[in-house]
Amino acid sequence: MRPADEALIVIDVQNDFCPSGALAVAGGDQIIPRVNALMGKFSTVVLTQDWHPADHLSFADNHPGAAPFSLTEMPYGPQVLWPRHCVIGSEGAAFHPDLDTDPVQMVIRKGFRPQIDSYSAFFENDRRTATGLDGYLKARGIAAVTLVGLALDYCVAYSALDAAGLGYRVTVLEGAARAIDLNGSLAAAREGMRAAGVALEI
């Protein structure tokens, strides 16, 4: 077992991010056996779940004429317009059926406010609206977090950067994550995480 002050955070292992999903990450389902095995090594395990209303402003089809993966400007800055995915209550928003949810103590749902997207497990994309995860972890005495899941270059990386900024020791296991790699996003994410002191391991 890992020390009691370490937590595992499993990011968005949901049907829509796995093969045949609406926003599939290549090989997204391949990480699940390792993620399940890792859960048994941590006394604190948290899942995050993308959880969008149908009118969410990050969906390209809510912007007439906009193409998926194009950029738009939101009040909080640039925003990728995504294919419709992880709509509240949908099968696509459900955790992948092979993911073992029994060892999990907390599920953080994010992106449920129609006006703000949310990549990070800690803050929505306005960088101010907290999800509550930081308070939960601190109340449990957590000082270090290990992150796995989907997608490495977006929700995992944003979560890792925020965790580092909040003072946690942060490790990302790239072998238990998969990336979208949109226009060089994976290289940029790795560079940013290393600069923030995040440990990248396989």
- In the annotation, is 12 catalytic? yes
- Pick the catalytic residue from 16, 86, 153, 155: 155
**One-character DSSP codes across 109-159:** EE--STT----SSSB-TTS--B-SHHHHHHHTT--EEEEEEE-IIIIIHHH
What CA–CA distances, in Å, run from 132 to 48, 148, 152? 12, 19, 22
* DSSP helix/strand/coil, 195: helix
Q: At what angle do helices 185-195 and 157-165 cross, to 10 degrees?
A: 20
Q: Which residue among 16, 29, 110, 117 is the active-site one? A: 110
Q: Which of 12, 16, 117, 134 is catalytic?
A: 12
Known catalytic residue: 117? Answer: no
Report the C-alpha dihedral over residues 37, 41, 46, 48, rounded to 10 degrees.
Answer: -30
Which H or E run contains 193? helix 185-195
110 tagged catalytic: yes
| Catalytic residue IDs | 12, 110, 155
